[in-house]
Amino acid sequence: KFKIGIMGAMNEEVKSIRENFTDITTETFGKREYTTGKLQGIDTVLVFSRWGKVAAASTVTTLLHHYKVNCLIFIGVAGALSQDLNVGDIVISDQLFQHDMDARPLCEKHQIPLTNDRLFKSNETLVQNATKSAALFIASINQTLSAITREKFSIIAPKVVTGKIATGDTFIHQSSQKLALKNDMPDTLAVEMEGAAVAQICHDYDIPFVVLRTISDKADHSAAIDFQAFISEVIPKYASGIVNEM
């Protein structure tokens, strides 16, 4: 039977998506709570991954191996690396890499040791569906967020873009870090802490996946300033809004 896995890097996202579930049961493995139920009539397992590559790897492995989900959708926030991105924009992964993976001179930079993998490709159909859902959600943003909230976070005309995402176990909050990442892989749109770890494991298990990220900050000195407020005031609406359009 077809089953979807949804992972969220923010508990606020997972809680808001969970409100749309029916027939809920929950189980805990490895300190993660897995919610099984139906989302728009489809069997779905939802879980909060926590942060970082190891946390995400542990969680996605349980979704694949224990729950046997047939595809995986990862939702979270990211810092913008591209100058064209603003807070409130949505980035859909077409490729992901681990910017902190570097086993040179044994392997190439970013290459996963003992494999030929460096850039992980998302599933094209999932990318198309996610892009469509995110675009539908964004089109009604003025009904979803109050003018006050939009002004507070400078969410003016949010957009949906598809492209490259960098993953690593660092919260990027200094211009020097941001610059180094941009030099490393110039066409990278955004940086986060889980996506390419999930991608690596989905690749190992041959499971289609996609990563959706809302830009929460610009990955510079201002990154931490409004982060928590954005997460609590805006992110739950994005998460449930996008999933409802799927």
Known catalytic residue at 43: no
85 binds ligand ADE (CB under 6 A): no
Binding residues for ligand ADE, rule CB under 6 A, total 13
Burial class (CB in 10 A: 0-12, 13-18, 19+), 113: exposed
User: Quick one: which segment of 124-132, 151-159, 179-187, 214-222 binds ligand ADE (CB under 6 A)?
Assistant: 214-222
Identify the residue whose tokens are 């690596």.
200
* Tokens of residue 206, six digits: 């041959």
Among 13, 89, 117, 192, binds ligand ADE (CB under 6 A): 192
78 binds ligand ADE (CB under 6 A): yes
223 binds ligand ADE (CB under 6 A): yes
Residues 35-74 that bind ligand ADE (CB under 6 A): none
CA angle 90, 126, 184 (to 5 degrees): 55
User: Measured from the CB of residue 15, what is the shortest distance to ligand ADE in angstroms?
Assistant: 18
User: Measured from the CB of residue 116, what is the shortest distance to ligand ADE in angstroms?
Assistant: 27
Known catalytic residue at 13: yes
Q: Under DSSP, is residue 76 helix (H, G, I), strand (E, B) or coil?
A: strand
Among 216, 235, 236, 242, binds ligand ADE (CB under 6 A): 216
Which of these is catalytic: 12, 94, 117, 217?
217
d(CA 20, CA 37) in angstroms, rounded, equals 10
DSSP type of residue 20 = T
Among 34, 120, 153, 171, binds ligand ADE (CB under 6 A): 171
Identify the residue whose tokens are 């066409």.
187
Q: Which is nearer to ligand ADE, 39 or 56 (CB)?
A: 56
Number of neighbours of residue 164 by Cβ within 10 angstroms: 19
DSSP, residue by residue, 195-232 = HHHHHHHHHHHT--EEEEEEEEE-SSTTTTTTHHHHHH
Instruction: Please give the residue ranges that form the binding site for ligand ADE (CB under 6 A).
Output: 77-79, 171-173, 191-193, 216-217, 219, 223
Catalytic site positions: 13, 217
